[in-house]
Structure 1
Amino acid sequence: MFASSEGEGGLLADDLTDALEIIIGLEWRDCLTFSGGGDVEVMQISAQHLARSRDKYNPDIDSEAAQVTAALSLHMPPVADLVIRFHAAASETEPDYVVTDGEGQEFDPPFGEHVEPRHGGWR
């Protein structure tokens, strides 16, 4: 599960292995932001754009991710598979689970409404 400082929260994965694979292999926070309200197809498109941007600005990220994956004895599925698993877990947040701040204040749902960045879109 995750909880952001912006008041969003939800399930990240079904277990620790899935969570680590999602964290390592997917720009998961931005994938949620640009999910079109939880549309898995929008998330797939966003994930591909985010991966290209990540690779452009950090060309060593794939080899670094491979090292971490090997060190933790994980299997790194393709991004499309990670998005499906991530979407399934995040979709279970409501109504099955409610994330609160300890004082009873409920966090917002995990999915953002955007489908792409507002200024310039995906490039």
Structure 2
Amino acid sequence: MKIYNSMYGVIYINSTFNNTISTLTDNKGNTIGWYSSGVLGFKGPKKSTSIASQSISEKISFLAISKNIKIVDIYIKGVGIGKETILRIINNCGIYIRSITDITPLPYNGCRKKKRRRV
């Protein structure tokens, strides 16, 4: 098991309507570990609940502590339910959150409008 000298890490959270995926990386972007609700045994509609995101955040924070990562930046993407739950539990596990950034893509012009009807 590789122990990292750097105390800094990055957690990416992708929270959709159907699933929640959390990835722990180092500062260079190399993946240390990841968890999703399907990996932890949740199936079907239970994958998108806040209980599933709770267990994901516990696992990812214990992984960070075991790899000697104490300070993290968090990047959140998506519109799912478990975003606030993950942040709260990571903070309660003893990891210092340096920054929280929302990287959800937003359309700036939208789709093309329908053709005007000619009568």
- TM-score, length basis structure 1: 0.29
Structure having greater relative contact order (Cα 8 Å, sep ≥ 6): 1
Q: Identify, as 1 or 2, the structure richer in strand.
A: 2
- TM-score, length basis structure 2: 0.29
Indicate the structure (1 or 2) with the bigger Cα radius of gyration: 2
